[in-house]
Amino acid sequence: MLQNDATYFPRKLKSQEREWLYTALPEKKLGYMQYREIIDGLAVIGFGRFGGGNLILGNEGDIIDLEVSSAPIFAVSNISFKKTNIYVTIHEESERQIEIDLKIDNEKNIPDNLNQSKIWTYSNWIPGEKAPHDNSRVREIHLVENEVVLTIAPRHKKIWVYNSRSGINHFVPVTNFYNEMILQTEIKDPVIALNHGRLFTNLDEFTDEQLAAGFLTYNRHWKRVDLDHHYTELKSEQKKKSFLDLFKK
């Protein structure tokens, strides 16, 4: 199905491919539903750097620049059948193109009906829930109560920020976030400062204030979540006053 013949493009997404992508884009959440609509308006215009199920969606006639790094990951899902697994990765839109990756363990054993599968995705997560798939512990830091929530899943080694307006869970790169957080502390010990894995193995060492300050500084540079309209709510959170100036810069 996922052949490496470049003459195969441009083409429409196959119904099965679209169905797989939709498992990472729940229609009940506005931001993901809007992303479905964007994808529906695009065609498969070629392979990404890795070929196979690494595909680029865009408009017919668009040029793919394989020298450009992949955009941040927007959504992922895992589809498990009895004899095979499908791993879905959807990247953020960049230059009117979207990179997707459909990794399949065994293409010969894919049932046509998703009703025969078990599906999980980070996209469905909302505050108050445990981590997807394994119900492991997550730590929530509410920048704005139940509206903007920094979430850390130690067992998954994942960080995301929930945005209630869109319903999107924005993934946060661990290393960049950890570096910004350390800069907001007085930690000088290189064993701690240079070991970003410690965020997951020793999560309880870090306070909510340190984690929130690290994210606000990171977000100021990388703009993962638009917080401008939340300034009043942030200001009203008394416990956040110590790092509020980072948000205003």
Residue 197 has pLDDT above 70, yes or no: yes
Predicted local distance difference test score (pLDDT) of residue 235 = 53
Residue 1 located in a structural domain: no
Give Dmax (Cα) for the chain. Answer: 60
Residue 191 located in a structural domain: yes
105 and 173 belong to one structural domain: no
67 and 150 belong to one structural domain: no
**CA torsion 102→106→107→109, rounded to 10°?**
-130
Select from 102, 123, 144 the last residue of a domain.
123
Predicted local distance difference test score (pLDDT) of residue 5 = 54
Residue 149 located in a structural domain: yes
Residue 44 located in a structural domain: yes
In sequence order, the 6+-apart residues with CB closer than 8 A to the CB of 25 are 32, 33, 35, 36, 39, 75, 90, 123
Alpha helices in the chain (DSSP H): 15-22, 30-40, 174-183, 190-193, 198-201, 208-222, 231-236, 244-248
- How many structural domains is the chain composed of? 2
Select from 90, 123, 156 the last residue of a domain.
123
Range of the structural domain that residue 50 is part of: 6-123
User: How does pLDDT run across 91-135, given as a tens digit for each residue?
Assistant: 999 999 999 999 999 877 777 778 778 999 999 999 999 999 999
